[in-house]
Amino acid sequence: MKTLRSLLPIASVLALTALVVAHAQAQHLLVPMDDAQTDHLRAYGLTWWCLDEPREYECQWLLNYRAGSFLLPDHADVRERAAQLGVSLEAVGPAEQAQIDAVIERSNMQRMHLTKAPRVAVYTPAYTEPWDDAVTLALTYAEVEYDTIWDREVIAGALTEYDWLHLHHEDFTGNYGKFFSSFANEPWYRRQVLESRNVASELGFPDVQACKKAVAATIASWVSEGGFLFAMCSAADSLDVALAGGELDIVVAPVDGTPMSANVNAQLDFSITLAFRDFQLVTDPMAPEVADIDVSPGATAMISQGEVFELFEFSARQDPIPSMLTQCHVAEVADFLGQTTAFRRDAIKDSVVILGDFPELNRVKYIHGGYGKGTFTFLAGHDPEDYAHVIGEDPTELSVHCHSPGYRLILNNILFPAAKTKERKT
């Protein structure tokens, strides 16, 4: 009987042999996330692009390996996309792969398989406001696709179309951020009030407060059914205030000349909040906080740059989710202010995992927890690369801050829903 080799032309045999050898030596592409990376933020965008349709390449997140590097398939289109984004790659052949495996096996590291890009939504109004949302900036710079939704879409049930939701710097008590005392006559503030009132009326609610409470309840229900929620600044604590039943009606817009009032419902139910407990409402109309969850640095805040908060190091094998959320090339991150700058430690539920804090102080910056079948992650502060970003300032240019540790924390949250994880152990 003739062999296959004898039946094939010599050129075909050589070509077949080359294909077999090439397959045996197939490489991956390492996206280093230590100081070797040329653009940390767009590295997340490259990984998201690999996971997104129509590619849906399976990728790996190497927790704690070279500051949380990614391992991607070695395809020509991946290399091309990395070049477009300015992201550093390193070829990984069999020898390099064996070295990586050995290091991961003997260290506090873990290989997480990422399977599909999460569908991303950002909760933000249609009208333009004079400040910038850090998450929107991060997504745009990293070239991660997202949709914007607001009250109409949330009440209509649009959240079921998404895996991951970011909350805009919203005041879910319906008091417009308590900006009345400082910005009552500003066109952007007046437009915010009118638009909010119009939407509430259109949706059949008696006022903005009732509308926002319904939105907050809908978001919490979506999380409980398996959604991934990420919130920054005032959205985090005001969401829980609304869920607890807190009613503040102390700041009224000048649109119709209604005087300010102080109707407060202090009967709070902490059993249905996501992260916080044992807080009280702030009824002072001149104070920007809606509750005493927030810990502000004090009167010297505008000049007290230099503080840092520390990231916890978790067991990558036992606690993969906290490990994913804290992947960074530094252990300390520069602090930054916001309408909610930090969370009061003794107002945080025992079930909540602290990801980053100020050791030995009653100030926590970064937290995570489970809520039903879903999860939430809250990061206090406004803009990780603008310490005291004030209303009206120009947007932060992320190409200047492409190695930002604070923005890395935001983008960690984009990818962790793509991983298959086990329940937290410790």
Residues 343, 363: Cα–Cα separation, whole Å: 6
- Above 50 in pLDDT, residue 59? yes
3-state DSSP assignment of residue 34: coil
- Above 70 in pLDDT, residue 201? yes
Q: Of 336, 337, 356, which is closest to residue 409 (Cα–Cα)?
A: 356
- Above 80 in pLDDT, residue 127? no
Instruction: Tell me the two tokens of residue 137.
Output: 């900036």
- Above 70 in pLDDT, residue 235? yes
pTM here?
Answer: 0.88
Residues 37, 227: Cα–Cα separation, whole Å: 31
Asked if 111 and 100 touch (Cβ cutoff 8 Å), the reply is: no
- Name the H helices within 39-125: 40-51, 76-85, 94-105
**Fold of the CATH domain 120-297+335-395:** Rossmann fold (3.40.50)
Positions of CATH 3.30.70.790 in the chain = 4-114
What are the tens digits of pLDDT across the range 327-375? 999 999 999 988 889 999 999 999 999 999 999 899 999 999 999 999 9
| C-alpha torsion angle, residues 235, 241, 242, 246 (rounded to 10) | -150
What is the mean pLDDT of the segment spanning 265-270?
A: 80
Give the residue with greater pLDDT, 133 vs 119.
Answer: 119
* Residue for token pair 């920007």: 288
Residue 304 confidence (pLDDT): 54
- Above 50 in pLDDT, residue 307? yes
Positions of CATH 3.40.50 in the chain = 120-297+335-395
3-state DSSP assignment of residue 128: coil
Residue 227 confidence (pLDDT): 97
What single-letter amino acid sits at 113?
Answer: H
What are the tens digits of pLDDT across the range 289-298? 888 999 876 5
Residue 273 confidence (pLDDT): 96
Q: Of 111, 38, 30, which is closest to residue 74 (Cα–Cα)?
A: 30
Instruction: Please give the C-alpha separations between residue 349 and each of 268, 277, 281, 368, in angstroms, as whole numbers.
Output: 15, 6, 17, 11
Res. 2 pLDDT band, cuts 50 70 90:
very low
Q: Does domain 4-114 have CATH number 3.30.70.790?
A: yes
Residue 8 confidence (pLDDT): 39
**What percent of the chain is modeled with pLDDT above 70?**
83
Give the residue with greater pLDDT, 382 vs 222.
Answer: 222
Average pLDDT, the chain: 86
